[in-house]
Amino acid sequence: MTKQATSHIEKVEGNYNLSNYETIRENFDWEDAKELLSAAKTGKVNAAYETIDRHVDEGYGDKIAIHYINETEKRSYTFREVKDKTDHYAKILKENGVKKGDRVFIFLSKTPECYIAILAAIKVGAIAGPLFEAFMEDAVRDRINDCDGTLLITDQELAKRVPQQDIPSLQTILYVEDIEKEALQPVDGDQFVEWVDWEDGLIIHYTSGSTGKPKGVLHAHRAVQHHIVTGKWVLDIKDEDVYWCTSHPGWVTGSVYGLFAPLLNRATVVIQGGRFSAENWYSLIEELGVTIWYSAPTAFRMLLSQGDLYKKYDLSSVRHVLSVGEPLNPEVIQWAWNSLKVRIHDTWWMTETGGHLIVNLPAEKIKPGSMGRPFPGVQVGILDDEGQELPRGEVGQLAVRTPWPGLMKEIWGNQDKFKSYFQYEGWYISGDLALQDEEGYVFFQGRNDDMINSAGERIGPFEVESKLIEHPAVEEAGVIGKPDELRGELVKAFITLRQGFSQSKELLEEIRVFVRKNLSAHAAPREIEVVDELPKTKISGKILRRQLKALEIERANANKVNI
């Protein structure tokens, strides 16, 4: 069964600043994207310079770059202040011996200091490695070890989850509390900027797949060509915009569309600290006058579940809304359209692609259930198992013609894995299944592997299984994504118990907490089911996750029938 749109939301004018999409579609060239950067004029390349310093040099130093808000405080920084602070951090990185190409990790919660530390690392030519704030010891250790990170910027609280003794390459830990205490001495110009080549490493994001531990996806400085142009056309950023992306920079959405794309386009960026609450989110929009809002389906569904709450707030500043990370169900689009009077523009891309590839350009026709159409300059193919293109309307592997500027440069230390994305000449294979209709709209149909997507976050079953079997009571484990109305999927573990252990509520809770405490909260199974035996392949004895998943889908369907 395939999912295609039965209705659509027509083009709307008015709310958007764009007017000439047809011209963009016809005339687009990635080389034009390069022209948007100051490097086109100066020949000097550095993504941090383009993101912040450039705007100061061009006379926008007094414009607000960042609004930070959490439950208890609110602060703002101009572009000049952000430049001064990145210089300050950059100076300290240099004093600590950081050189071009070094991997500098940043483990901080969503605060201005997190963004500034990332930019400072990039400014001095290092490769920034931002880590999601909910990671626990194992997740932190595995990532820094994988690419031999030498320096980490964190704070006293999160440092408790950094097992430095198990990370031999990690020579230095800097605490933001100390950096912030040192007197800041503004410097003129670009004395801390390391000029690099487009191909030099910019940022590394660890992302999960269906096998093995998370892989380090390395992007090059050239990716900012992709960021700036999609920020302009897809996010529709203009000078007066107040832009809010809800993702943490440890995830690719938080770095590319929370930091680079909006600031490259000189928007004022909102950083929100603290946990999700519908009240906080709505009041943030009202208080800061957010005009562009980029979030994920699970978050929209959480807001939807709050019913009429939105009526208490003035949300009229919002003119453009975007979504990413997981299927955006038509109900959510309809809800936003009816209640908030906005259209949600879905976007499809991946950590590996470094930027938007399939989008709904502002004001163009939206087909609920579809992720949109290829961004200008992007060619999508739906391939069969031999790598041949399928006719429109048929389901196959979602692939994209290579190359484009945001495409990853490498998978750190894993050439085989890198090559596996390019097994068909001239194509990047996403691992997603999709179909494309006659008008070019692409419809997501699921993954082609066992990767789990819960609340828009990629979770590798292998990682969770490996952690589970470290618990003394667990003999074997098979982990899958169980369909879930709110989160898309939730992490579910099927386990067998070792001899001498018997199932109890307390034991299952203990196992769940064990994963949560060691790996990360988002990867901890929300459901654990004890079984006598796990289904396995006859020859190699590998656990058949697909069979477990089929069982869950069958159960879900049976429940529906009962209702």
- Strand, coil or helix: what is 507? helix
Binding track, positions 369-388, relative to ligand WTA; x by CB under 6 A: --x-----------------
CB-CB neighbours of 558 under 10 Å: 9
With binding defined as CB under 6 A, does residue 143 bind ligand WTA? no
Which region among 89-97, 322-330, 459-467, 492-500 touches ligand WTA (by CB under 6 A)?
A: 322-330
Residue number of the CB atom closest to ligand WTA:
351
Query: Could you say which residues in the range 195-214 bind ligand WTA, by CB under 6 A?
Result: 207
Contact call for residues 128 and 149 (beta carbons, < 8 A): no
Half-sphere exposure of 94 (CA within 13 A, CB side): 15
> Is residue 397 at the binding interface for ligand WTA, with CB under 6 A as the rule?
no
Asked if 391 contacts 404 with a C-beta cutoff of 8 angstroms, the reply is no
**What character string, x for contact with ligand WTA (CB under 6 A) and - otherwise, covers 254-293?**
----------------------------------------
| Binding segment toward ligand WTA, per CB under 6 A, in 41-49, 90-98, 154-162, 343-351 | 343-351
CB nearer to ligand WTA: pick between 149 and 254: 254
The correct pick among 325, 354, 369, 405 for binding ligand WTA (CB under 6 A) is 325
Only one of the segments 66-74, 160-168, 258-266, 427-435 lies at the binding site for ligand WTA (rule: CB under 6 A); that segment is 427-435
Which range, of 28-36, 185-193, 274-282, 344-352, touches ligand WTA by CB under 6 A?
344-352
115 or 428, CB closer to ligand WTA? 428
- Distance separating alpha carbons of residues 563 and 561, to the nearest angstrom: 5
Please identify which residue in 272, 430, 445, 520 interacts with ligand WTA, judged by CB under 6 A: 430
For ligand WTA, which is the closer residue by CB, 219 or 458?
Answer: 458
**478: closest CA among 552, 414, 423, 428?**
552
- φ, ψ for residue 444, nearest 5 deg: -70, 135
Helices and strands per DSSP (H, E), number in the chain:
19, 25
| Among 419, 328, 416, residue whose Cα is nearest residue 366 | 328
Instruction: Tell me if residue 562 falls in helix, strand or coil.
Output: helix
Of 298 and 351, CB closest to ligand WTA: 351
Q: How far is the CB of 326 from ligand WTA (least distance, A)?
A: 5
- Figure out which of the listed residues 349, 418, 421, 514 binds ligand WTA, where binding follows CB under 6 A: 349
Please enumerate in sequence order all residues whose Cβ is within 8 A of that of 563, keeping only pairs 6 or more positions apart, or say none. none
Which one of the spans 181-189, 270-278, 347-355, 539-547 is the region binding ligand WTA (CB under 6 A)? 347-355
Binding mask 151-190 for ligand WTA (x = CB under 6 A): ----------------------------------------
Minimum Å gap between C-beta 466 and ligand WTA is: 20
Write down the least CB distance from residue 373 to ligand WTA, Å: 12
Using only C-alpha atoms, what is the Rg of the chain? Answer: 23
Nearer to ligand WTA, 85 or 447 (CB): 447
Give the distance from CA 535 to its chain's centroid.
33
Site for ligand WTA in 221-260 (CB under 6 A): 252-253
Q: Considering Cα of 465, then 470, then 474, then 476, what sign does the dihedral take?
A: positive
Residue from the set 367, 373, 458, 522 that interacts with ligand WTA by CB under 6 A: 458
CB of 354 to ligand WTA, least distance (A): 10
Among 351, 436, 445, 454, binds ligand WTA (CB under 6 A): 351
Task: Name residues whose C-beta falls within 8 Å of residue 364's C-beta, 6 or more positions apart in sequence.
Answer: 11, 21, 373
As measured in angstroms, the least distance from the Cβ of 408 to ligand WTA is 11
Altogether, the residues listed in the chain come to a count of 563
Among 138, 364, 432, 489, binds ligand WTA (CB under 6 A): 432
How would you list the strands of the sheet with 127-131, edge to edge? 172-175, 151-154, 103-107, 127-131, 201-207, 215-220, 410-411
User: CB atoms < 10 A from the CB of 543, how many?
Assistant: 20
**Which span sits near ligand WTA by CB under 6 A: 116-124, 320-328, 459-467, 501-509?**
320-328
**Residue 324 touches ligand WTA, criterion: CB under 6 A:** yes
Which residue from 353, 328, 332, 334 is spatially nearest to 422, judged by alpha carbons? 353
Shortest CB 67 distance to ligand WTA, Å? 24
In the complex with ligand WTA, which residue's Cβ is closer, 431 or 483?
A: 431
By beta-carbon proximity to ligand WTA, the closer residue of 179 and 264 is 264
Quick one: 86 or 255, whose CB is closer to ligand WTA?
255
- State CA 280 to chain mean position distance: 22
Cα separation, 137 vs 519, in Å, equals: 7
Q: Of the two residues 176 and 299, which places its CB atom closer to ligand WTA in the complex?
A: 299
Residues touching ligand WTA: how many (CB under 6 A)?
A: 21
* CA atoms of 265 and 562, how far apart (whole Å): 52
In sequence order, the 6+-apart residues with CB closer than 8 A to the CB of 62 are 78, 79, 80
Count CA atoms within 13 Å of residue 268 on its CB side.
19
d(CA 204, CA 144): 11
Among positions 294, 348, 412, 418, the unique one binding ligand WTA when judged by CB under 6 A: 348
Decide if residue 400 touches ligand WTA (CB under 6 A). Answer: no
Report the first-to-last Cα separation within the chain, whole angstroms.
22
Among 200, 236, 346, 489, binds ligand WTA (CB under 6 A): 346
CA pair distance 38, 32, nearest whole angstrom: 12
Q: Where on the chain is the footprint of ligand WTA (CB under 6 A)?
A: 207, 252-253, 324-327, 346-351, 371, 430-432, 444, 447, 453, 458
